[in-house]
Structure 1
Amino acid sequence: MKSKTIKLADSEVSNFSRPYVIAEIGANHNGDIELAKSMIDSAVECGADAVKFQSWTPTSLVSKEEYDRNQSYDDCKKKHFGSLREMVDKYALTTEDHHELKLYCDSKGVAFCSTPFSEGEADLLEELDVPFFKIASMDITNIRLLKHVAAKRKPVIISTGMSTMAEIDNAITAIESTGNQQIVILHCISIYPPAMEDVNLANISMLMKAYDYPIGFSDHSIGSALPLASVALGACVIEKHYTIDKNLPGWDHAISADPAELKVICEESRNIHTAMGSLKRIVSKAELAKKEKFRRSVVLTRDLPKGHIIQASDFTFKRPGTGISPEMEMQIIGRVMKVNKEADELLNWNDLG
């Protein structure tokens, strides 16, 4: 299931390629730029290719009706505080924050990217020269935003949570209508965290058959198992929420990967990619060297004199594999011994007449 190759920053991705790992900081910075920088440092140390934020303002994402309905939260697991409006105000990144974080990422050698939630925020990210745009699952039906972003002629990574195949088709068609065919599609389940029976990792293979674009996985599960499994299926982009402390207050810390988990995802996903290898059957040089030590050879079960006609009961098979292979058994039976040989000695072709 080959796909187009899409360039993301300094990397090229296609199905089954080396996985590109995006540490989704999102709003886990909690409005604290120094905390955001600490998360960037940690993600770089873990081996992430990119760190991603979310670009929205108190007026670009949530309506008055939604603010009015959410005056307080009782979900202590996520350590919410106050009203939705208070949290949005605190967690929104300013234009200046964006510039500061982009410069900081540049200094650390990691790609800075973000999810825009309006055309204005997409324009800000274009000004910052992000290497690609990420579209959230919630906006897969926001055709106006999709076309605005796609028209900027940079790669577009789009998550597919909550969407039907028809909605995915419409989104891809909208992006392509601008002339942009630099698309990466992420299988995603928009539950935090999802039940295992709802994850449907097999959808990665299905999407590979449906589209000739690279397929990845945006993961909201707890731990590192599912992202690693997705790499074995060929996912070439892994997006995972990231925090340096799962106990911090905020929306997503509890379901995010911590440094230990992100390091496993970065290192082991690349090991899995390397280990997947080729569909062609290859015996490595290291294995070839093992043949002589591990395989078996024909060994006599008793002393055999010169002139003896060999029968099946005269030999068995033992290590090492430097003599006659067991698969040649029928070519030995009935042959005449040219020399005397003792029990447990390897039989060689020059011993036979």
Structure 2
Amino acid sequence: MNLNKVLIIAEAGVNHNGDVELAKQLINVAADAGADYVKFQTFISEQVISKHAQMADYQKTNTGKTESQLEMVKRLELSHEDHYKLIDHCAKKGINFLSTAFDFESLEFLKGKLDFYKIPSGEITNLPYLIKVAQLGLPIIMSTGMANLQEVKDAFNVLIANGILKENITILHCNTEYPTPMEDVNLNAMLSIQKELGVAVGYSDHTLGIEVPTAAVAMGATVIEKHFTLDNTMEGPDHKASLEPNELKAMVKAIRNIETALGHYKKEPSPSESKNKAIARKSIVASKTIVKGELLTENNITTKRPGNGISPMQWPNIIGTTAVKDYKEDDLI
């Protein structure tokens, strides 16, 4: 994907707790923060999770419950009608709608509703899913949590083999722990993916705070995805590892500032600093009274501000020459 600016995806995920009105509030927050997309999750619980699947440890910790994963996720499922309401609300708020599909039926449902498909970390080793997504023909952003580099390459090759052009693939480094400990972030792995596959890269973040996604942008991330919530004390599996509204707004601002600050690769004076050259730099000046015809030496010249005279870089060319006029102390030579 060829992006002119860092793409910021505000990940609402399932932080609506299955309530479409809460989901609309999340859309409001994402739009107000200035995110490019607000992302939800589209799934039919029984097609994604077996009745034998257990909750992850972080889900047990964050929810305080020991029910099955299917029971937990079923409460977070949005209907097709709910999706249409959210798509309409995104349009009203001026923010792009996005959702990750976790099953074939959901992939089909999202056809015609998305600008690109987002492959979640858990599907990176799901060959039938990868083939199906690729055959749908849209650009792809793929998260890589829990994967090693070979698994990332394998998934990438499946997408390429099924018709997706390299320039239409963006791969996100990710750690699938909520929240992710700082020592497990390993942002440099994002650069390893870029070097190995020659693709655009980004970062899907589950740490607390906004430092890591901001740093990822400084390192070259073209996409940032970050969970957010209305209140991280709410009940649910992802709220505790999500930004609150004011934090999301701060992250977007920080990313845009870093994006602007990165600038170009040419080292040259900027327009704002050029006016300070004469003030901050020095010139060759008389250190004492000098009469016309006197030899200029280290004993009668020195360097001082302002910098609108002869540059001290010309010092060897001035030493040993003859004064062409009289100088008082501090006069520019």
TM surpasses 0.5: yes
Q: Distance in 2 between matches of 1:77 and 1:201?
A: 25
Confirm or deny that 1:94 pairs with 2:89: no
- 1:344 and 1:246, CA in 2 relative to 1: closer, same or farther beyond 3 A? same
CA drift at 1:249: 0.9
CA drift at 1:81: 8.1
Confirm or deny that 1:142 pairs with 2:126: yes
Confirm or deny that 1:154 pairs with 2:138: yes
Q: Distance in 1 between matches of 2:99 and 2:59?
A: 29
Which residue matches 1:225?
Answer: 211
For 1:20, the aligned partner's letter is L
Q: Distance in 2 between matches of 1:188 and 1:140?
A: 12
Cα offsets for 1:137-172 (capped at 9, x unmatched) = 111011111111111111111111111222112211
Q: Taking structure 1 as the reference length, what is the TM-score of the superposition?
A: 0.88
Which residue matches 2:22?
Answer: 35
Which residue matches 2:88?
Answer: 103
Q: Which residue of 190, 198, 223 corresponds with 1:212?
A: 198
- 1:74 and 1:117, CA in 2 relative to 1: closer, same or farther beyond 3 A? closer
Q: Distance in 2 between matches of 1:293 and 1:74?
A: 60
> Secondary structure at 2:45's aligned position in 1?
coil
Which residue matches 2:42?
Answer: 55
Given that 2:131 and 2:159 are in contact with CA atoms closer than 8 Å, whether structure 1 keeps it comes out as: yes
Given that 2:87 and 2:97 are in contact with CA atoms closer than 8 Å, whether structure 1 keeps it comes out as: yes
Which residue matches 1:3?
Answer: none
Q: Which residue of 297, 310, 323 corresponds with 1:337?
A: 323
Confirm or deny that 1:178 pairs with 2:162: yes
> Secondary structure at 1:345's aligned position in 2?
coil
Given that 1:317 and 1:326 are in contact with CA atoms closer than 8 Å, whether structure 2 keeps it comes out as: yes
Q: Distance in 2 between matches of 1:338 and 1:324?
A: 14
> Secondary structure at 1:21's aligned position in 2?
strand
For 1:40, the aligned partner's letter is I
Given that 1:78 and 1:253 are in contact with CA atoms closer than 8 Å, whether structure 2 keeps it comes out as: no
Q: Taking structure 2 as the reference length, what is the TM-score of the superposition?
A: 0.94
> Secondary structure at 1:51's aligned position in 2?
strand
Write out aligned runs for 1:228-307 (5 A). Answer: 228-307=214-293
For 2:163, the aligned partner's letter is G
Q: Distance in 1 between matches of 2:147 and 2:59?
A: 29
CA drift at 1:86: 3.8
Paired residues in the alignment total 330
Query: Where in structure 2 are there 5+ consecutive unaligned residues?
Result: none
Q: Distance in 1 between matches of 2:203 and 2:59?
A: 31
